[in-house]
Structure 1
Amino acid sequence: MDVEQGRYPVTLSLALAYFTSIGESRLPVVANDNRRRVMLCARAAKTLGLAVPILYRYCSCQISEPTARKMINTMNETEPLNQVAITKVSEDKNVVEYRLPNGLKVLLLENHTAPVVTVLVLYKVGSRNEGVGYTGSTHFLEHMLFKGTKKHNPEKGNGIDDLLTQIGAYWNATTWFDRTSYFEVVPAEYLELCVELEADRMRNLLLRQIDHDSEMSVVRNELERGENYPEEALEKDLYALAFREHPYHHPTIGWRTDVEGVPMDRLREFYNTFYWPNNATVVLVGDFKCDEALSVVAKHYGKIPAAPHPIPEVYTTEPPQEGERRFEINRAGDLARILIGYHVPEATHKDNHALAALRHILGSTYERSSCLYKILIDTSLAAETFARHDDLRDPGLFIIGATVTEDVEVKQVEEAIYSELERLSRELVTQEELDRAKSSNRKGTILAKADPSSLAFMLGEAESKADWHWLMEYDDKFDQVTPEDVRRVVATYFNKSNRTVGTFIPKEIEMSPEQMQAAMEAAEAQAEIESVLDAKHDLAELMANKPAVAKAKVKKPKIHTSSFASRLVKKVLPNGLTVLLMQNPGTESVGVCGILKAGKYFTTEGYKNSNLAELVADLLPKGSVRYSKMQIAQALESMGIAGGLEFSVDNYRLGFGTHVVSDDLPMYLDLLADLIRNPELSSEELAKTKIEWRSRFTEALNNTRSMAWNKMRRTIFDANHPFYEKTFEEQMIDLEEVSLETVREAHKKLFTPKGMIITVVGDTDLDEAFQHISDKFGDWHGDEPPSVDVPQASLPAKRTRIDVPIPEKKSTDIVIAHPTDLMRTGKDFYAAKLANAALGQDTITSRLGNVVRDRAGLTYGIYSAFSDTAFGSAPWSVSLSVNPKNVEKSLDLVSQVLSDYIENGISTEELSKETGRAVGAFTVGLASSLGIARALTEFEFLNLGPEELDNMSKNYAAVTKPQVDAAMKKYFHPEKAVTVVSGTFDK
């Protein structure tokens, strides 16, 4: 022992202190209980971060070291919570913080409003921890964390995605400057499964070269997709120029050559540096008991040691900027854009909340009472605008951006922004403006609690910026901001020498029909050669070592009958308006949504397939008989729902929906009624809206996805069909021809209480809610909307390919589609949905994703889907994005997967997996009052009622393999599908 004391003096003192702290007055060197001796040594090793052999030798266990290790491993699996030294650190607003001996921080918040839990694990590593040569490693590693561990290996059919798919989880991961977050939203019964999965991949990743190679091209396609959009290109260069020394200089996704070149060993080193308990926070929010949840966390994380090294700190700081910096991007595009970034302090700085208040006051396109809206949108200088405060762990940027209206110079927009900032540096904002911002902020916090997952994400973000107490204190500190504080921060930070300015100036590239044809022919010829040369992308070879389906063992979600029908109150006003009401107490908020039969299908004769219904909907929030546009905007802002009265339009529905604080429900319903019944519909607002829409169409002409779908709808439907879509140029012509009289006539015809549905779900008195609706809508009358009779579109005679060239695009969009006659009310609906789910509902675990993304690494995202099945004839499609060079390879693989699937049918394991996914997703999707309200509204619209909602789990569970196989043969016809490829073709 003297020798050991001499060699390990620190170990001796730490061990003595540790054993004393747990009630052992001396080292267990003479104890006869070898298991207890080993357990104490192991616990000391875990707690102190010491090597097990050191404590093993030091504690003089009278057994062999291999036996001791075996006992330690057994103890690690079974040691109960009361034997793990967990510290309760603090509690605030029902959030409780615990700390495990290995340094893991645990945040628990019980929320029993829905049988759902959110598990979020945040690692304090982001792109700020990267350097030249391995930028993007944080994000690349995020992808690799889904590639498996020894215990949960996709190659064995029990990977993370395999398991989570079967229970209907909503899961993903995100990377940002300061953090990487992994999360799962699941039925509450699967809390332990998620904790176990996250704990396992913290230290046990396989990190195989083959996974690195396939995932690199997936990440690269994600990067290429972003490069298609001017906004993303501008923001990447804005940060790169504003930060020269601090690592915020690097884009989160990384520089392209780093993404392509970073070796597996470098990613492994990055993983071994940062993925440790003492660099992580586990956040659990939802339907659980804290002591039970903590026991689960201790069971799975307690056995992981702390990092054997200090977690590297970022010590580089950005020196003050000494003059304006500018850059310009010139490439093919649509509209000019501008981004202006000002250096601002870190999130914990005393000025942070004043800057946040300024963000509210500057506003955005949909905050119509805001400064930017008034000076840019209302004046038609810009089609879109926003202000964003990036409050980060280190000093970040405050960004103001705008999309410039056609025929307006960028300089005009830039000068208007500077003029407004200069005014705010001289003049105090009014107390009324600031009070609205404060009300919006505080009510926004209440509304976030209505969705437990939102609160989990907020806690995680707070941890990345500072710690979770930062969030708990945020509203109180925001309320302390004064008008003078706002003026001071504008004067301090928003000056010329502190700003970086980026502009996107589109260059026109005219292509003649001959040039377009030549580009398409060249692309097809080159792609054909590459496809022949690349044998790697053969389906049989790609799947040679892959199990046919996941065979992971996980308890399936409970098949149960819900109770919506018994809890729902349905009332119909004399004018035909249907009101649905249901309580969901304890949330302090209410979900409100509704539908009118005022979609494109019902548009006045002569305007079929136009955007007239959508144009009317867009004008509704811009003024009514009783309220001006500004009064409406101010009321919504004070409720914390600046965009909460926007209306969406599809073929059949005009919809609305939002969360409101319970006390604001009467005000919201009052506004809603006046906007729907008595909109102002002024010539001034119509003219401004037309300018905004022209900009929208111009942008669509340069968007690969929009152009692909536009061409598709014009190809598979005739001009009189509800799903047909005119060219964007034709839509611009239609827009110019719409008069104010036409708009008002359309409103009068389309908007009627007959067939309208309003649903209220949440923490409110149902009788009072109904009375409010009756008071506001009861004396409204209108005609019966026409019945819906959608003609069945014919399948194309044969497979067809159409290419749509758009110059200078880094990523290409592909859509493969044809019409189907599937209807939501059809007997085979559930079978068809399961058939599609196994094929392409998920970009990773479905067949298409497994082959084209996971195995071949050709795309960031591939999906199959049925469009609106309310009345039939909607498209069934497969869509994906790829590098232009990979178009033919991808199409070939998609064709092989479809042929194999339709020929051989769904496997029993796939059917079981997709049934579990559907049942679990049903529970997760109804975690909030608004989610419930939307589901009830849609089922009422389809005349299915709450009974169908109650039986959904059973309906999915009753589907058989023969039914799914029959459905796919009935609805999937790739041999007659139209393929549209939109983008820049490799010459």
Structure 2
Amino acid sequence: MEVVRYQLENGLRVILQARPSAPVVACNVWVDVGSADEEPHEAGLAHVHEHMLFKGTERRGVGEIARHVEAAGGHINAFTSFDQTCYYVVMSSRFFETGVDILSDAIRNSAFDADELGRELEVIQEEIKRGNDSPQRVVGQMLFDTAFEVHPYKLPVIGSKESVDSFTRDHVVSFFSKHYRPDNTTLVLVGDFEEAGARALVDKYFGDWVAGGRKKVARPEEPTQKSFRGKVESRDIQDNHLRMSWHIPGVLHDDIPALDILGVVMGAGNASHLYNVIQREKELVNAVYSMSYTPKDSGIFMVGADYQLEEQSHEAVVKTVLEEVFRFRHLSPPIEDIERARVQIESQEIYSQQSAEGLAMKLGRGDLVTGDPEFDQRYYAAIAKVTPKDLVRVAQKYLTPDQLTAVLMRSASSPDVSVDDLQSWALEAFERVETMATDIGVMQSNGGFSSVKFPNGPHLIVQEDPSVATFAMRALTLGGLRFETPQNNGISGLLSELVTSGTSSSSAVDIARRMEGMASGLSGISGRNSFGMALTGLSRYFEKTFDIFGECLTDSIIPEEEFAREKSLQIQGIRSSRDQLGYVNSMQFMRTFFGDYPYGMPVEGTEASISGLSAEASRTFLKKLVRPSGLVLTAVGDVEAEHVAALVEKWFVRTESEESMGVNLPTPPVHTSPLLAVQNLEKEQAYVTVGFHAPLMADPLRYAMEVLYAILSGQGGRLFYELRDRQSLAYSVYASMLLGLECSTFTINIGTSPEKVEQALSGIYSEVQRLLDDGVTPDELERAKTYLIGNHDIGLQKYGSRAMSFALDELYGFGHQKTLEYSDRISEVSIVDIQSFVNRYLKPGHSVVAITKPEAHEVPADILAKIGVE
């Protein structure tokens, strides 16, 4: 797949890569301007353009750009970073020209309507509020703001409330004129096209774009950090969030390959040092990681940890994490750990080739960040040469206490911590390692389907596809939340984490090391209706990884210490979820809507139910749940069906009888009058969910519901246009579906300011009434159907997506090829079908409403009656 690079006379850089393996094209426009290129009075303007360029042009009105893309079966989006802004469209290749046309029109001819700008600035304020409600985002911004003194990387990409409030249309147009020029832009096209045709489209839609005399503002150079920096804040949250960083060079520096390897060996994955020592063995944290962040200018090496104080202290966590980091300055990790890291990094190159979108992103980012067409070849050649001594060298060079920045966002209920405390603990950790370096060890050593139903074994389905040297497998059985009770609620999710925690012959560490050393992934799966395992990897390691897969599914022993550790982590996760506004409201809705039916329970369980579980009871549950004769196994990718079948027979065919898992389900709920549930959570926003009964998974009317979902959702959907664009109620508003075997629900969700709750509710029910009274238009129907079909085709590029879809369809009795019939089913949906769904299910008087809001904002008990819902 040759990459073609050239430049138009106006300065536009063009990158083409023909990729005929799937009928998909990715079209990206990368503008070489990010938040780090803004002047002080422009803070957040790059991000504003990301919002505004799809809001209409001279040829296309508000909402039409997104609708035109979705009508062509694709999806459109954009993102802004420190260094660039990217606008992208992915769609079926038959609509290739439409994608190029739309992107060209948006980039060159945006209208920047003043009224639309005002509404969108309100939406961005909601986005800022949402970010302020996320502890992870807040502490991340704390780190960058503290680590950088003068470089613009210290500032949030999105801007601030004050800067966004200050923007006018003149600001936006001035910024656009300064940066949105062909000589500052890269166009990337990847997918199913002929080079000559692609060149002709580029000339047609971009060739007459007039170049300008752009003068880019020089970024201030960050001075060398010569002393410790720190910051501490407290919030009313469950977790404590510790983030630390050290300055490192930009992406082109010769030290970056070794730093990238160091980040993986130190703290990426379940075989990494920090995970095994800090999280598994010492149980001080519920999450820990490390990585090198290498943007265009100098970046940072980051280490993060999230934890809840039980018996440990802030001091113990900070000092222990830093001791393990500083040990890499003296002791070389085993070569097998470097090989594991090397394979993980190199495998990203292979996995990115599965989709046109992934390739386009890689090429565009490489062009703007590195500016070097040969960078990838040089980088991976350097990765292959990294040695243990290189890791020690870069650790000694960069990981020093005087170059350390440490920030802590602590729970308000935890003991107070000062910046002086952080600095003192860092120095103590460093001095301890320096003194004991010779005595401390770093690591412990450690198209076409084939279908076979095995007697006394599983049902195997294989789809051979050798286009990329990878594969994906899924093993599923009926289970999950649907098989749980209030007493053992959460056991399925707990077991999905524990199924790889150890077998009769392998520990959890052994399993993780072996899998990550082959750049492969192995994990449990638990949902509302199913339980199982997922395996992905490089095809050259298929048999080796399958043996681990089979061993874990058939011989998981759930060691006591692993069970206790994971149980504690799940309880911490349950507590952490209380910080997530949307999740908290969703759980309230589920409890209210489903009642005693299992879907009313949280997938992860409750503190009480998880606390009551024992390792022995969990082993018994797992043994009854995972019976070979009840399994459906699917394999997709660069594998041979006969080889897969031989391995399935080796691991999963049994002659002995099996005790099955019984399930006694309560009667599904039926709502015939409105229900309202309101609760308090101290956040800046409120969250509203309105839900209705919906067709079951096997009901053909579900396809009409899916088409209606597409009509309502997305940037071109009714909800987005009416509640976000016109009324500026929210940054996020969407419909969603929960399809079940015995009961289902269709919901409309919105996060909004507390004072707008009644307006948001009224807006949602107005849209429902509009559907009841007027239905949908033929144009909306066709756009939605095309979008669903195109999006479905795009999704099937990934082997894992196919393997999962085939397994679920077979497990639920629909036949594994149902996924491939999806397009036909959607194509058959008519306006009459949608109206049948609407009339049967979207009854305001039968709806359930859940609202989560700050305590200070009252929601009247009769709010539904006030807006006419009875």
Provide the residue aligned with 1:706 in structure 2: 583
Alpha carbon RMSD of aligned pairs, Å? 2.1
Q: CA deviation at 1:295?
A: 2.1
**Pick aligned residue for 2:146 from 233, 241, 251:** 241
Provide the residue aligned with 2:69 in structure 1: 164
Provide the residue aligned with 1:803 in structure 2: 678
**Pick aligned residue for 1:314 from 193, 218, 243:** 218
Provide the residue aligned with 1:884 in structure 2: 754
Q: CA deviation at 1:334?
A: 0.8
Listed one character per residue, the Cα deviations across residues 78-114 of structure 1 (whole Å, up to 9, x for unaligned) are xxxxxxxxxxxxxxx7222122111111112222221
Partner-residue secondary structure (3-state), 2:301: strand
Q: CA deviation at 1:437?
A: 0.9
Q: CA deviation at 1:481?
A: 1.5
Listed one character per residue, the Cα deviations across residues 688-723 of structure 1 (whole Å, up to 9, x for unaligned) are 11211121111122321222122222222233x121
**Pick aligned residue for 1:152 from 60, 67, 70:** 60
Provide the residue aligned with 1:131 in structure 2: 39
Provide the residue aligned with 2:727 in structure 1: 856
Letter in 2 for 1:400: V
Partner-residue secondary structure (3-state), 1:723: helix
Listed one character per residue, the Cα deviations across residues 12-63 of structure 1 (whole Å, up to 9, x for unaligned) are xxxxxxxxxxxxxxxxxxxxxxxxxxxxxxxxxxxxxxxxxxxxxxxxxxxx
Deviates more, 1:783-792 or 1:116-125: 783-792
Task: Could you list the structure 1 runs, at least 4 aligned residues long, displaced by more than 4 angstroms after superposition.
Answer: 606-609, 784-792
Q: CA deviation at 1:141?
A: 0.8
- Alignment of 1:637 onto 2:524: no
Provide the residue aligned with 2:450 in structure 1: 569
Letter in 1 for 2:563: L
CA distance in 2: counterparts of 1:268 and 1:942, whole angstroms: 54
Provide the residue aligned with 1:102 in structure 2: 10
**Pick aligned residue for 2:121 from 212, 216, 235:** 216
Letter in 2 for 1:724: G
- Alignment of 1:927 onto 2:797: yes
Provide the residue aligned with 2:562 in structure 1: 685
CA distance in 1: counterparts of 2:786 and 2:692, whole angstroms: 28
- Alignment of 1:386 onto 2:265: no
Letter in 2 for 1:890: A
Q: 1:658 to 1:854 in 2, by over 3 A?
A: farther
**Pick aligned residue for 2:638 from 728, 747, 763:** 763
CA distance in 2: counterparts of 1:473 and 1:727, whole angstroms: 46
Number of residues paired by the alignment? Answer: 823
Provide the residue aligned with 1:182 in structure 2: 87
Letter in 1 for 2:724: R
CA distance in 2: counterparts of 1:624 and 1:278, whole angstroms: 59
The within-5 A match list for 1:138-537 is: 138-154=46-62, 159-306=64-211, 308-364=212-268, 366-407=269-310, 408-467=312-371, 468-508=373-413
Contact 1:815 1:879 in 2 (8 A): yes
Q: 1:594 to 1:491 in 2, by over 3 A?
A: same
CA distance in 2: counterparts of 1:144 and 1:578, whole angstroms: 51
Provide the residue aligned with 2:592 in structure 1: 715
Contact 2:585 2:689 in 1 (8 A): yes
Partner-residue secondary structure (3-state), 1:305: coil
Contact 2:525 2:534 in 1 (8 A): no
CA distance in 1: counterparts of 2:301 and 2:32, whole angstroms: 22
Provide the residue aligned with 1:80 in structure 2: none
Provide the residue aligned with 2:600 in structure 1: 724
Contact 1:405 1:692 in 2 (8 A): no
Provide the residue aligned with 2:865 in structure 1: none
Letter in 2 for 1:908: P
Provide the residue aligned with 1:610 in structure 2: 489
Partner-residue secondary structure (3-state), 1:338: strand
Contact 2:266 2:273 in 1 (8 A): yes
Contact 2:477 2:811 in 1 (8 A): no
Provide the residue aligned with 2:809 in structure 1: 939
Provide the residue aligned with 1:594 in structure 2: 475
- Alignment of 1:837 onto 2:736: no
- Alignment of 1:812 onto 2:717: no
Letter in 2 for 1:207: F
Partner-residue secondary structure (3-state), 2:390: helix
CA distance in 2: counterparts of 1:907 and 1:913, whole angstroms: 10
Contact 2:264 2:291 in 1 (8 A): no
Contact 2:488 2:612 in 1 (8 A): no
Contact 2:489 2:603 in 1 (8 A): no
Listed one character per residue, the Cα deviations across residues 824-882 of structure 1 (whole Å, up to 9, x for unaligned) are 2213221222223223x32x22211111111111111111122033x131222111211
Listed one character per residue, the Cα deviations across residues 868-926 of structure 1 (whole Å, up to 9, x for unaligned) are 33x13122211121122322221221121111112221222211211211222221121
- Alignment of 1:737 onto 2:612: yes
State the TM-score, normalizing by the size of structure 2: 0.91
Q: CA deviation at 1:785?
A: 4.8
Q: 1:782 to 1:183 in 2, by over 3 A?
A: farther
Q: 1:611 to 1:771 in 2, by over 3 A?
A: same
**Pick aligned residue for 2:743 from 854, 869, 873:** 873
- Alignment of 1:825 onto 2:707: no
Partner-residue secondary structure (3-state), 1:461: helix
Contact 1:817 1:875 in 2 (8 A): yes
CA distance in 2: counterparts of 1:671 and 1:598, whole angstroms: 22
CA distance in 1: counterparts of 2:19 and 2:836, whole angstroms: 43
Contact 1:373 1:385 in 2 (8 A): no
Partner-residue secondary structure (3-state), 2:598: coil
Q: CA deviation at 1:619?
A: 0.6
Partner-residue secondary structure (3-state), 1:504: strand
**Pick aligned residue for 1:847 from 695, 718, 721:** 718
Contact 1:368 1:374 in 2 (8 A): no
Q: CA deviation at 1:784?
A: 7.3
State the TM-score, normalizing by the size of structure 1: 0.80
Deviates more, 1:668-677 or 1:130-139: 130-139
Listed one character per residue, the Cα deviations across residues 577-631 of structure 1 (whole Å, up to 9, x for unaligned) are 111111212211112223122323234xx66661112212211122112222111
Provide the residue aligned with 2:437 in structure 1: none
CA distance in 2: counterparts of 1:451 and 1:591, whole angstroms: 15
Deviates more, 1:454-463 or 1:173-182: 454-463
Q: 1:947 to 1:772 in 2, by over 3 A?
A: closer
Contact 1:623 1:629 in 2 (8 A): yes
Identity of aligned residues (%): 23
Q: CA deviation at 1:451?
A: 2.6
Provide the residue aligned with 1:63 in structure 2: none
Letter in 2 for 1:723: Y
Provide the residue aligned with 1:656 in structure 2: 533
**Pick aligned residue for 2:835 from 960, 965, 986:** 965
Partner-residue secondary structure (3-state), 2:226: coil
CA distance in 1: counterparts of 2:655 and 2:12, whole angstroms: 59
Q: CA deviation at 1:471?
A: 2.7
Structure 2: where are the runs of 5+ without partners? 415-446, 858-870
Q: CA deviation at 1:491?
A: 1.2
Contact 1:172 1:184 in 2 (8 A): yes
- Alignment of 1:975 onto 2:850: no
CA distance in 1: counterparts of 2:656 and 2:287, whole angstroms: 37
Contact 1:346 1:394 in 2 (8 A): yes
- Higher CA-based Rg: 1
Contact 1:812 1:981 in 2 (8 A): yes
Contact 2:65 2:716 in 1 (8 A): no
CA distance in 1: counterparts of 2:453 and 2:144, whole angstroms: 55
CA distance in 2: counterparts of 1:478 and 1:902, whole angstroms: 60
